[in-house]
Structure 1
Amino acid sequence: MKQRTRQLTYALRANLESMAAYGESKKLYKDKTNAMRRQKYRELIYKGISRADIHKELLHIDAAKDKIFSYSTMKNYIRFVKDFAAFVYTKTSTSRVSVEDSIKYIRPYIDSLISKGDSPNTINLKLSAVCKATGQYVVDYTHPIRRYSDVTRSTKAAVRDKYNDKRAAAALELNRSIGLRRNELARVSINDIYLGEKCAYIYSKGKGGKNNITYISDPAKLDILYKYMSQAITEGRETLLSKEQMNHDADLHHARAMCAVDEYNRILQDIHKNPEQREFYKSYIKNIFKKYNKPLLEDLDKPYYLRGAGKTLCISQGKSYIFDRVAVLYVSLTILHHFRSDTTVQHYLIK
C-alpha cells in the first residue's frame, strides 16, 4: 500500500528539529568548514579551475549545513517554513506536498516576497529557513542583497513600546543598562552577577550556547542594575526580572543597541579626556582576544571608516561616519559579545 505523503508543514518542521545542536560550539563547525574549503581550493586550483567557479564551489561547503545552534533561530525558522508551506498550498491546493516537490516553488516564493514588499533582510531570513529545511543552498537563488544601512529593525523605539510602557518599563530600563538579548535577559539570575570594585560582571548563555560575560562599569548603569538586584532579593526571586516584567513584546533589541551607543560615547569621552586610557582599553581588547584564542586582525591605531550605503546614511543624518576602533571593539567585547568592528558599527552604532 502506498504511503500517504506527509503534510509539508510538518515534514519541513521535522527536518529542522532534527538539526538541533543547542550547546554545541558553532566555532568548531566554522573551523571545520574553513579547513574543508582550503583543501577543496587547493584541489580545484591544481585542476586549473577558474577562481570564479572555485568561489561558487566553496560556497556549497558548510560543515554546519544540518545544524541549528540557537533555539530562537529554530523557532523563527519553523515560523518561516510554515509561511512557505502556506504559499505552496496556494499553488497546489493541497498541503500534502513532499519536501522534494516543494523545492520547485522556492523561486516563485522569493518572487512573491519581493512583490509583497518584504525587505531584503526579511527575504534572506525566510529563504535561509526554507533552504535549511529542504537541503538547498541560499547562494543558488538570486534575491535582493542585504545592506546594513537598509536594516530598519530596532533603529528607533518601536511604536508598540509606548503601549507597553507599564509592563515593559522595567525590562526596557534594565536592558538599556546591560544590553542583553531578550532570552538572556529573561534567564539572568542573581547568581549570574558578580560584583567587583565599581563594576559588575554578568554571566549569560548567548546564541549557540556561547558563554558570555557582560562587563558594566558605568556608575549610572550600575545603580540601575543594583536596583533590580535588590528588588529580586526582596521578592525572593532568583531571576533579575519576573515573568510578568518580561511578558510584553517591547523592542528590547533597541534597548540593547542604545546600551551599546551609550557605552561607545562614554568610552570615547573617557579617551578624549584622558588620552592615556587608550592604552588601557587596547590592552583589555588584546587580552580578551588572547583569552578566546582569536586572532586580532584589526589595527587598533586606525579609525574605522564606514563606506558605501552606511556612509551615505550617516551623512544624511548629520552623523560622523568615522569611528574610534578602540572604543568600538571595547563595546563589542564587553556588551555585545562580537569580535568585529563592522558588526558593532553597522548593526548597532549607526542605527
Structure 2
Amino acid sequence: MARNRNSLQFDLFKKASEGLHGNITRKQYKYACKKFASWAKEQGFKKIENIDKDLIQEYSNHLQEDPISYSASTVHTYLAPICKAIGVNMREISKPKRKANTITKGRKEDANPYGKLQNNLPQFQRLVSLQKVLGIRRSELAKLKREDIKQKDGSIYVHVRKGKGGKSTYQLVLPKDEELVKNIFLEKSGGENIFTPEEMNNKIHLHALRREHGWDCYKFFKERLDNNIEYKRKLKAKLIWFFEYGHRDLKSDNLSKYEAKLNRFKNDMNDSPYILRGENKKRAIQNGKPVVYNRLALMAVSVLALSHWRLDVTVVNYIV
C-alpha cells in the first residue's frame, strides 16, 4: 500500500475494504484502487472528496477504450471497489455487459484434458462426488471439516467458514443428495479435514462441476415453486434470513447501506420473469437452455448454492 496515508490510493482502499475479510478480494481491490488513483492523478484529481460518479463514468469509458481491450468482467472488477469507496451504485455507471459467450471458465471441454481424466481416477472419487452435489469453490472444499455439516429446519447444510470475501455462508444440500453428503462427512473425525492435501492436489474441472450443480439446483427450486404456492412464501423468507445473516457486519457498520442493499435484494425477487436478451439469449438457445427464468428460483440458486447474491452473475456464469 502507498506509504502516504493521505494518498488517494490509501483513502480509496480504506473505504472499499470495509467489511472485507478474504485476502484474494482485498488484493483485487488494492490493485484496482492503485490503478484508478494513478489514472485520476493524471486527470488532476488527488483527493477522495473530489471523486464523484461523473469521474468514475469517465474512468469506465477509459477502460473500455483502452487498446488492451479489457473484458466486461475485468472492467467490472476494476470499477467495483471505486464505486463502493465513493458510495456510487454500480448500476448507475455505464459499462459493458457481461455476456455468456465471453465466459470461458469451466466451459471448454478440451482446456485441460488431464483434469478431465482425473475426474475418473479412484483417489479423487470422494472429491468429485461431493463437488457434483455441493458445487463450492476449490479453496472452500480444502477447508471443510466434519463439523461443517449442519441441520436446520429439516434441511441439511454445509457451513463454508470462509467463502468469497471472507464471509461465512451455508450451502443447501438438495434432498436427493443428503445421504451421500452425510456419508462423506461423518466418516471423518471431529476437527479433521474432509479432504487431504493429496486429494486437493489435482487439476479437475471443479468450476465446471459447480456450473452443473447450479443448473441442477435451479431445476429443483423451479419445480417446487411451480407446484407449491406455500413454498414460495417460505423460500422468500429463508433467503431474506440468509441475507440478514450474511450481511450482519454491514448492518452494524452502515445501516443505510445495509437497508438499501436489502431493498435491492428483495426487489430482485419480484414476480416478473427474468428474460434473457441479446448475446445471453443467443447463448441460451445454442445450449438448449430456456430464455425465460423464475426470478425466485434463480435467487435461491445464487444464495443457497453459489453464494453470489446477484442474479446477473448467476445467470451469465452458471446457468446459461
Task: Tell me how far apart the structure 2 counterparts of residues 338 and 222 of structure 1 sit (CA, whole Å).
Answer: 23
Matched with 1:259 is 213
* Mapped partners of 1:230, 1:61: distance in 2: 42
1:154 has 2:106 as partner = yes
Distance 1:320 1:170, change over 3 A: same
Alignment correspondent of 1:170: 126
Structure-2 change in CA distance of 1:209 and 1:66 (3 Å): closer
Q: Deviations over 1:212-268 (max 9, x none)?
A: 12122x2332122112113323xx771111111111121212222221111110111
User: Amino acid of the residue matched to residue 181 of structure 2?
Assistant: L
Q: Which runs of 5+ in 2 are unaligned?
A: 3-10, 31-37, 43-62, 83-94, 248-257
SS at match of 2:197: coil
**C-alpha distance after superposition, 1:304-342 (max 9, x if no partner):** 112221112112333211110111111211111222222
User: Structure 1: where are the runs of 5+ without partners?
Assistant: 1-14, 17-32, 34-59, 79-98, 132-143
- Alpha-carbon distance change, 249 to 122 in structure 1, aligned in 2, over 3 angstroms: farther
Residues 156-213 of structure 1, C-alpha deviations (whole Å, 9 max, x = no match): 5554332222254332221121121111110011122223465222222112211112
1:207 aligns with 2:164: yes
How many positions carry a matched residue from both structures? 253
Indicate how the Cα distance of structure 1 residues 286 and 76 shifts in structure 2: closer, same or farther if over 3 A, else same: closer
1:46 aligns with: none
Q: For each residue in 1:30-85, what CA deviation from the matched residue of structure 2 results, as whole angstroms up to 9, or x when unmatched?
A: xxx9xxxxxxxxxxxxxxxxxxxxxxxxxx9993289985334578899xxxxxxx
What is residue 275 of structure 2 aligned with on the other side?
A: 305
The answer on 1:221 being equivalent to 2:177 is yes
1:314 aligned onto 2:284: yes
Matches within 5 A, 1:38-117: 63-64=15-16, 70-73=22-25, 111=67
User: 1:66–1:304: structure 2 CA closer, same or farther, 3 Å change rule?
Assistant: closer
1:127-162 CA-to-partner distances (Å, cap 9, x unmatched) read 89xx9xxxxxxxxxxxx9563221111135554332
Q: 1:61 to 1:188 in 2, by over 3 A?
A: closer
Is the 8 Å Cα contact of residues 121 and 151 (structure 1) preserved in structure 2?
A: no
Residue 68 to residue 334, structure 1, CA distance change in 2 (3 Å): closer
Q: State which structure, 1 or 2, has the greater radius of gyration over its C-alpha atoms.
A: 1
User: Which residue does 1:341 correspond to in 2?
Assistant: 311
- Name the CA shift for 1:255/1:278 in 2 (closer, same or farther; >3 Å): same
- The secondary structure found in structure 2 opposite 1:201 is strand
Corresponding letter in the other structure for 1:213: Y
> Normalising by structure 2, what TM-score?
0.64
Q: Report deviation, 1:300.
A: 2.3
Cα distance 1:198–1:188, how it changes in 2: closer, same or farther (>3 A)?
same
Tell me: CA distance 1:177–1:268, structure 2 relative to 1, closer, same or farther (3 Å).
same
1:66-119 deviation digits (Å, cap 9, x = unpaired): 9985334578899xxxxxxxxxxxxxxxxxxxx99xx9xxx9xx74x66xxxx8
Does 2:131 match 1:180?
Answer: no
CA RMSD of aligned residues (A): 4.1
| Structure 2 CA distance for partners of 1:126 and 1:281, relative to 1, 3 Å | closer
Are residues 68 and 271 of structure 1, via their aligned partners in 2, closer, same or farther at CA, if it must alter by over 3 Å? Answer: closer
TM superposition score normalised by structure 1 = 0.59
Percent identical: 25
- 2:201 corresponds to which letter in structure 1? N
Q: Against the structure 1 CA distance between its residues 346 and 168, is the aligned structure 2 distance closer, same or farther, given a 3 Å change threshold?
A: same
Question: What secondary structure, in the 3-state scheme, does the structure 2 residue paired with 1:232 have?
Answer: coil
Query: Judging changes above 3 Å, is the alpha-carbon distance between structure 1 residues 300 and 125 closer, same or farther for their aligned structure 2 residues?
Result: closer
